[in-house]
Amino acid sequence: MVATGSAMHLCRFVAGSDEDRIRLNAWLVGEWEGTPANVAPDEHDDIRWFRSEVLPPLAHERVGEALVNAMRRHRA
């Protein structure tokens, strides 16, 4: 569970067309409890927590760089 007021939307990225479309939403979450669960599998392929130092490689390198930079800027 995400603590109230601790989440900030970082970005929404859409690439591709129609059935090949990929959507990525990233949020910066400061406080949470537990492990996220995909309660809408028809809407999401995957949902997980990541720290900036272990963010997996993304299909578009610049998106990954932007996410890491945003996470580092807002960590305080």
Q: Does residue 59 lie in a domain region?
A: yes
Q: What is the CB neighbour count within 10 angstroms for residue 63? A: 15
30 falls within a domain: yes
Domain that holds residue 59: 7-74
pTM: 0.56
**Structural domain includes residue 1:** no
Q: What are phi and psi of 20, to 5 degrees?
A: -100, 10
Amino acid code (one letter) for 9: H
Whether 40 shows a pLDDT value over 80: the answer reads: yes
Residue 40 lies in a domain: yes
C-alpha span between 58 and 24 (Å, rounded)? 10
Q: Could you tell me if residue 2 is inside a domain?
A: no
pLDDT at 33 over 60: yes
pLDDT at residue 9 above 80?
A: yes
Q: Using the 8-state DSSP alphabet, how is residue 15 labeled? A: E
Q: Name the domain count of the chain.
A: 1
CA–chain centroid gap for 74, Å, is: 14
pLDDT of residue 76: 52
Q: How many helices (H) and strands (E) does the chain have?
A: 1, 2
